[in-house]
């Protein structure tokens, strides 16, 4: 859901539950149908797990680390800024890692972007 930029609320739609139950017949009776809250907690758990991995990868970079920003407005009108690091890994392969997604106050302008990053 997060990868495809789909609202977490979509998992609570009856159509989504029907799709899951078609794929996994026992999912509904087992009480395993996810909620938006469940997805958020899974993502937070994964974030904390992989944060150490990202820190380690960045510490191993011998060359330059470049940063880019991807700004957008979410469906709930929240302005967001995806902060990415770009670098070459030890074997020279290009890597791109999402570092954070701070909210932005105001319009997508330079000062607002900087305030969200610093």
- Reply yes or no on whether the pLDDT at 28 is more than 90: no
* Predicted pLDDT of residue 63: 94
- Looking at per-residue pLDDT, the higher value among 26 and 54 belongs to 54
Structure tokens at 25: 């017949």
The whole-chain average pLDDT of the chain stands at: 85
Residues 39, 72 within the same domain: no
pLDDT at 113 over 90: no
Please give the tally of structural domains in the chain.
Answer: 2
* pLDDT value of position 97: 94
Tell me, yes or no, whether 72 and 109 share the same domain. Answer: yes
**Domain check: are 65 and 13 in the same one?**
no
The more confidently predicted of residues 2 and 73 is 73
- Which of 26, 52, 78 terminates a domain? The answer is 52
Domain span at 2 = 1-52
pLDDT over 80 at 29, yes or no? no
Residue 33 sits in the same domain as residue 64:
no
Burial class (CB in 10 A: 0-12, 13-18, 19+), 114: exposed
Check whether 2 has a pLDDT greater than 70.
no
Same domain? For 18 and 68 the reply is no
Asked whether residue 117 carries a pLDDT value surpassing 80, the answer given is no
- If asked whether residues 26 and 70 sit together in one domain, one would say no
Kindly state the helix (H) or strand (E) to which residue 50 belongs, with its residue range: helix 36-59
Tell me, yes or no, whether 117 and 64 share the same domain.
yes
pTM above 0.75, yes or no: no
9 and 38 belong to one structural domain: yes
Residues 33, 65, single domain; the answer is: no
Question: Do residues 78 and 104 both lie within one domain?
Answer: yes
Give the pLDDT confidence score for residue 55 in this predicted structure.
93
Indicate if 39 and 73 belong to the same structural domain: no
């Amino acid at each position: 859901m997060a990868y495809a930029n789909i609202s977490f609320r979509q998992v609570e739609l009856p159509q989504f539950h029907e799709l899951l139950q078609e794929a996994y017949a026992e999912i509904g009776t087992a009480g395993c149908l996810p909620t938006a809250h469940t997805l958020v907690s899974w993502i937070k758990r994964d974030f904390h797990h992989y944060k150490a991995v990202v820190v380690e990868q960045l510490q191993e970079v011998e060359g330059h680390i470049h940063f880019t920003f991807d700004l957008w407005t979410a469906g709930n009108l929240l302005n967001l800024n995806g902060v990415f690091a770009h670098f070459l890994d030890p074997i020279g392969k290009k890597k791109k890692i999402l570092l954070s997604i701070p909210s932005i106050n105001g319009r997508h302008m330079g000062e607002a972007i900087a305030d969200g990053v610093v």
